[in-house]
Structure 1
Amino acid sequence: MSNETTTDHSQSANLEAIMHVPLEISVELGRIKLPLHMIARLNRGMVIEMNKEANAEVQILANGSIFAKGEVVSTGDKLGVRITEIVPASARISSLS
């Protein structure tokens, strides 16, 4: 077996191994800053208004890094996110720095 074939096989095995690593997926609806005195007064039932329109795109993150954008949908009795855009790899990499 040539060195190149061995390297290709090794890379395939490494890729196969990491494909089973679980990542945490989260969806960010928006962000706001509130002063501590307002946070201290929050109670059950109160609504925190976010900085986005109700039907605005949301960010989909894998382990805290954005990888896609989407729209919130209802899937019966649960919420879901329909992917509308996969963020280009170059943008994902630059968001890490």
Structure 2
Amino acid sequence: MEAMKKMPVALIAALLVQTVGGLVWAGGAAARIATLEQRVGEQRLVAERLARLEAQGEAVRAAVERIERQLEGSDGEALVLLPLWEKVARRAG
């Protein structure tokens, strides 16, 4: 009979310990999830920046190709570029 009275106390103590352990585990899991969500948000920003850089790179490539075509001229010979100061002098003069 004495053992029967002690069993519920031990059972209640075990349930309390397990409950506390479960709450601690849930808190840790919530912290890990918050960290992962933050990283995903940062990766979205990086992905957007990368997409913009790729678009800018394509635009630069197209501009360089257009400039190369203009430099080659209609007969295929490369045109001689004037120094910058000569171009400025022509515009000012």
Q: Say yes or no: TM over 0.5.
A: no
Q: Report the TM range for the smaller structure's normalisation.
A: under 0.3
In our comparison, the structure showing a higher alpha carbon Rg is 2
Task: Give the structure, 1 or 2, with the largest relative contact order (CA under 8 Å, sep 6 or more).
Answer: 1
TM-score of the aligned structures, taking structure 2 as reference length: 0.26
Instruction: Identify, as 1 or 2, the structure richer in helix.
Output: 2
Higher strand share: 1
TM value normalised by structure 1: 0.25
